[in-house]
């Protein structure tokens, strides 16, 4: 069994309840975005000078997402491609919010982060099982991939 299959299976074991799954469909992407937004809010500092070829994209969120995507590639290149698309959407949304509400992205992201986690823990209370990441921190990264694999399955894509 491939590592990604084993991780998705183990993650799925604590996500059997319909309500908990539904909550995850909203909250996992919200948490992912909120983390991107929080990291995006960190001043770039010397990054544009260090990475001049990425002048328009040089921020800490881009660097963090590259590392995240490398992790996903080690698990599944097709899933990494889907996560690249979702990550780009998160970066674009963070950029948009930062443009229309300068200096507010961190507060918006922090609020989304806390509200989404409240719902996540409520979903696990309904489920009657602890969140997977309490067993292994890498499951924080598997949650988004778990949702992406359902999208892939719906459209008949291999993951």
Predicted confidence (pLDDT) per residue in 105-116, tens digit: 999 999 999 999
* Every domain of the chain and the residues it spans: 3-9+21-155
Question: How far, in Å, CA of 11 to CA of 141, rounded?
Answer: 11
Closest C-alpha among 91, 94, 99, 103 to residue 54: 91
Report the Cα 11 to chain-centroid distance in Å: 15
> Taking 80 as the threshold, does the pLDDT of residue 151 lie above it?
yes
Predicted confidence (pLDDT) per residue in 85-112, tens digit: 999 999 999 999 999 999 999 999 999 9
Average pLDDT score, the chain: 92
Closest C-alpha among 110, 122, 117 to residue 143: 117
Rounded CA Rg of the chain: 16
CB atoms within 10 A of CB 121: 14
Question: How far, in Å, CA of 31 to CA of 40, rounded?
Answer: 14
**Which residue would you say has higher pLDDT here, 136 or 34?**
34
Question: How far, in Å, CA of 70 to CA of 159, rounded?
Answer: 16
Report the Cα 107 to chain-centroid distance in Å: 18
pLDDT the model gives residue 54: 59
Predicted confidence (pLDDT) per residue in 22-60, tens digit: 999 999 999 999 999 999 999 877 766 666 665 566 688
pTM score, whole prediction: 0.91
């Amino acid at each position: 069994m491939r590592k990604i299959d084993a991780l998705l299976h183990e993650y799925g074991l604590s996500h059997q309840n319909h309500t908990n799954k539904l909550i995850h469909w909203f909250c996992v992407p919200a948490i992912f975005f909120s983390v991107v937004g929080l990291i995006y809010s960190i001043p770039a500092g010397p990054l544009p000078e260090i990475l001049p070829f990425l002048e328009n994209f040089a921020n800490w969120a881009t660097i963090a997402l590259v590392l995240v995507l490398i992790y996903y590639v080690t698990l599944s290149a097709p899933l990494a491609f889907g996560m690249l698309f979702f990550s780009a959407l998160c970066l674009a949304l963070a950029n948009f919010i930062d443009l229309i509400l300068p200096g507010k992205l961190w507060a918006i992201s922090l609020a989304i982060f806390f509200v989404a986690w409240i719902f996540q823990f409520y979903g696990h209370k309904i489920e009657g099982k602890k969140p997977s990441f309490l067993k292994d921190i890498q499951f924080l990264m598997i949650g988004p991939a778990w949702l992406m694999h359902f999208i892939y399955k719906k459209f008949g894509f291999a993951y």
